[in-house]
Amino acid sequence: MKNIRQGGYVWLITLLIIAVVVGIIWTKRSSVVVPNESGQASSTAEIIDNANEVVNKSEPTKVSPPKSTTSAQPTMTSSGAYIVYYGANGFSPASLNIPAGKSVHFVNNSSNSSMFITPVDKINNPYSSFTQSKSVGKGGTFDYLFTISGSYAYYNGNKDTHGGLITVR
């Protein structure tokens, strides 16, 4: 009988230790501080609440290309082609509106990544034809003549988080 009591105390002490450890971990988890977009501190609990709020929205998420950091007026070559630069942060401008019949001259200015223009729509014409034949490193270029109106979404096939949109009117 004495052995059973001692075994019971061992289980009780083990459960108490587990409860204390879980409590400590839970307390530390909810007190982690992370800066938000405005640079202010947010706790992990706030971040989880915000994420749940976004996930629980009933309307679908709209994906849009990253905002350009360049001026409103796009840069053009002497021959009249629009220029899109590729760098460490992606394409600039990331979104470009052009008339049909104009070319876009893509220039890789990245020291770290090669550039491989790949259409998001790889099946339907004319979008599927908007593809680069091979990757190019720093200083490499790719030119494409846009003859048909539409929205040509693209990304770097070597770094798929970098994308852009050419809207041809």
**103-139 pLDDT tens trace:** 999 999 999 999 999 999 999 989 999 999 999 999 9
Q: Quick check: pTM over 0.75?
A: no
Range of the domain at 33: 2-55
What's the pLDDT score for residue 159?
Answer: 93
Give me the amino acid identity at 121.
D
What's the pLDDT score for residue 14?
Answer: 78
* pLDDT bracket for residue 24 (50, 70, 90): low
Residues 134 and 115: their CA atoms lie apart, in Å, by: 9
Number of compact structural domains in the chain = 2
- Is 80 exceeded by the pLDDT of residue 48? no
- Is 70 exceeded by the pLDDT of residue 163? yes
**DSSP letter (8 states) at residue 76:** B
* Residue 76 placed within a domain: no
Please compute the mean of the pLDDT values over residues 18-43 and round it to a whole number. 55
* Residue 32 placed within a domain: yes
* Residue 63 placed within a domain: no
What's the pLDDT score for residue 87?
Answer: 95
- Say if residue 97 is in the same domain as residue 164: yes
* Residue 129 placed within a domain: yes
Percent of the chain with pLDDT over 70: 64
- The answer to whether 156 and 118 have CB atoms below 8 angstroms apart is yes
Distances (CA, A) of 73 to 68, 79, 82, 92: 11, 16, 10, 12
Q: What is the DSSP string of 134-148?
A: S-B-TT-EEEEEE-S
Please compute the mean of the pLDDT values over residues 154-161 and round it to a whole number. 94
* Residue 65 placed within a domain: no
* Residue 66 placed within a domain: no
Measure CA 145 to chain center. Answer: 27
For residue 167, the cross-strand partners are 97, 151
